[in-house]
Chain A
Amino acid sequence: MERVLCVDDDASLLQLYHDELTEEGYTVILAKDGKEALKKLEKEAPEIVVMDIRMPNMDGIETLTAMLGKNRQIPVILNTAFPQYRDNFMTWGAEAYVIKSSDLTELKKKIREVLDKRKTK
C-alpha cells in the first residue's frame, strides 16, 4: 500500500486526511509540523508528502528546503489556503500546489497524478 505523509498543525484536518485517504486505500502517516515530518520521513519512508505551509516550529517551505537533496526525492504537494505562496520561489521545489479545502477531491486527484507520474518515470 502506498504511504502518504500528511503534515498540518490543525488536528481536525489531520483526522480528515486520515479518514478520507485511508478510505482511498492509502496508508496514512500524520505529523503536526515540519520537525515531526522530517523525523517521520526518515522512519516511515512515505511515497508522497502532503504539507501545509503555515505551521509553527518549522513551516512547510523550511521543511521542503530541508528535504531537498535528501530523502530520495520524495514528491511534496503543498496544500495551503494562501495562494500568494505560489510567488515564493522555494515553493517551486514542490511537485504540485493545491488550494486547501475541506473537500479533498482535488487533493486526491493530485496525489494520484503525482504517484502515477513517478511510476511511469
Chain B
Amino acid sequence: MATKVVAMILAGGKGERLYPLTQDRAKPAVPFGGIYRIIDFTLSNCLNSGIRQIHLLTQYKSLSLNRHIIQGWIHYFNGELGEYINLIPAQQRVGEDWYLGTADAIYQNIYVLQMDRPALVLILSGDHIYKMNYQDMIAYHRERQADLTVAVIEMPKHLSRHFGVLQVNEDFRITGFQEKPEVPQTIPGQPDWILCNMGVYVFNTETLVRRVIEDAKDPHSAHDFGKNVIPAMVAQDRVYAYSFRDENKKTSKYWRDIGTLDAYYEASMDLVSVDPEFNLYDRDWPIRTYQPHYPPAKTVFFEDGGTGRTGGAYNSLISSGCIISGGKVFRSILSPGVRINSYAEACDSILMDGVNVGRRARLNRVIVDKDVKIPEGFQIGYDLKEDAKQFTVTESGIVVISKGTILE
C-alpha cells in the first residue's frame, strides 16, 4: 500500500487587498484567466499528483467557492474508491472562535485527521498559482525522514520583506526562519538569493497533531504556521526545505501569491502575452475548472475591409459564449458570456462573466466584475482622477468596477 496522504487546503483567506473582487467571495474563488478560479490551480495540482483525499477548509464568504467546488470538482472524486473532496466550513467545534490562524484551522479540525488516520498530511493554501507535483515532495520528505518538509522557491534578495525566509544548512535542513525580514539570510553560496516559504507543507501526522496542540495551548501565539509553529519546530524536529520543482517547465520557476489587485492584474496580463510565463496549454498538466455550457465565442461584422464597424479581438483570451459584435478587444481577458457592442473598445482589461460593454464605450486598463453593464459611450481608465471618485483605482492605475455596480 502507498503511504496514505490527506490534503488539507486552507481556503478561508479573506483577500482584503483584493477588494472589491473579494466583496462577495473568498480569495480562492476569485476568477482568474477567463474561466478559472484561483483555487483551480491548487486542486489541479492535487489531481495531477494523484492526491485524491482532500479537505477544503473554508470560512469567509464561502458560498461562491462552495458552488464552484460542487459544480466543478466533486465529480472527479470517486467515493467508492475512498476518494473525496470535503468542504469543511469553520464549525466552532472546539470553541467560539473562527479560525485564528493557519495552525488553528488545522487544530480545529484534528478530529478529521483522527477519522482518516493518514500517515502524512499535505497542507496547502488555496490562494496560490503554480504547478507542482506533490508526490516529488512527499518522496523527498520520506527520503529525509523528515517530520516536516517546507516547499521553498528561490527569490531575489530584495523581495524578502514580502515572504517568510528560510535558512538551511548544506543538507537543506532548515536552521532558521525569518518572517518578512528587512535584512534576510541568503542562500549559502548565493548572496543575492533567498529561499521563500511557499506555504506548502508535508507533515508527519503525529508531529502535526502534537505541534498544533502545543501551539493551541500558547495564549501568546498568533496560531500561524509561518510565524509560530515552524519556527518553534526548527529547534526540536527534523524540518527540511524542498526546492520546488516547477511543472510549468519555463526557465524561471513560476509561483504567485495573488495578494494584491496589481499582482492580480499583472499575473492575468501575463496570460495574454505572446509567450506567457504561465502555460495553460500543457496537456500533461491540465488545469481543470467548472464552466457552464455556452455556445462558441463569436465575432460579428466586418465592414469596409475592417476600417468600419468590425468585431475583433487581438492578443486576447476569449471564453465561450462571448459575442464581439462590431467592437474591438486588445490585450484583454474575457470570461464567458461577455458582450462587446459596436464601436466599443476594450484595451488591457479583464472582463468577467456576463459583462456588457455598450456602443462606443471605451475601457483602458479596467477590471470589470461579473454582470456589470457599461453604458453606451462611457469611457473608463482615461481619467483616473475622475474614475477614483466612483471606483477603486490601484497604485499602478488599474480601475476596478465591483460586482453589482450600476452605471448610468
The smallest C-beta distance from A95 to any residue of chain B, in angstroms, reads: 10
Is the contact region of chain B dominated by helix, strand, or loop, or is it mixed?
helix
Contacts of B216 in A (CB 8 A): 68-69, 93
The smallest C-beta distance from B363 to any residue of chain A, in angstroms, reads: 50
Most-contacted residue by chain B among A66, A69, A73, A88 (CB, 10 A): A69
Contacts of A66 in B (CB 8 A): 94-95
Contacts of A92 in B (CB 8 A): 209-210, 213
The count of chain B contact residues (Cβ–Cβ below 8 Å) is: 13
Q: Does B189 contact A (CB under 8 A)?
A: no
Report the Cα distance A72→B219, complex, angstroms.
7
Q: Does A43 contact B (CB under 8 A)?
A: no
Q: Does B114 contact A (CB under 8 A)?
A: yes
Do A90 and B110 contact each other (CB < 8 Å), given the known contacts A65-B94, A66-B95?
A: yes
Task: List 21 A–B pairs whose Cβ atoms lie within 8 Å, in order of A's numbering.
Answer: A65-B94, A66-B94, A66-B95, A68-B213, A68-B217, A69-B95, A69-B216, A69-B217, A69-B218, A69-B219, A70-B219, A73-B218, A73-B219, A88-B114, A89-B110, A89-B111, A89-B113, A92-B209, A92-B213, A93-B216, A93-B217
Give me 8 other A-B pairs in contact (C-beta within 8 A), A69-B217, A89-B209, A89-B213 excluded.
Answer: A65-B94, A68-B94, A68-B217, A69-B95, A70-B219, A73-B219, A89-B111, A89-B113
Mark B213-241 against chain A: 1 for CB-CB distance below 8 A, else 0: 10011110000000000000000000000
Which residue of chain B has its CB nearest to the CB of A66?
B95
Residues of A63-100 at the interface with B, using a CB-CB cut-off of 8 Å, are 65-66, 68-70, 72-73, 88-90, 92-93
Residues of B337-364 at the interface with A, using a CB-CB cut-off of 8 Å, are none
Contacts of B95 in A (CB 8 A): 65-66, 69
Contacts of A70 in B (CB 8 A): 219
The smallest C-beta distance from B211 to any residue of chain A, in angstroms, reads: 10
Report the Cα distance A17→B114, complex, angstroms.
32
Which residue of chain B has its CB nearest to the CB of A67?
B217
Residues of A32-80 at the interface with B, using a CB-CB cut-off of 8 Å, are 65-66, 68-70, 72-73
Which residue of chain A has its CB nearest to the CB of B110?
A89
Report the Cα distance A88→B115, complex, angstroms.
10
Report the Cα distance A69→B113, complex, angstroms.
21
Which residue of chain B has its CB nearest to the CB of A93?
B213
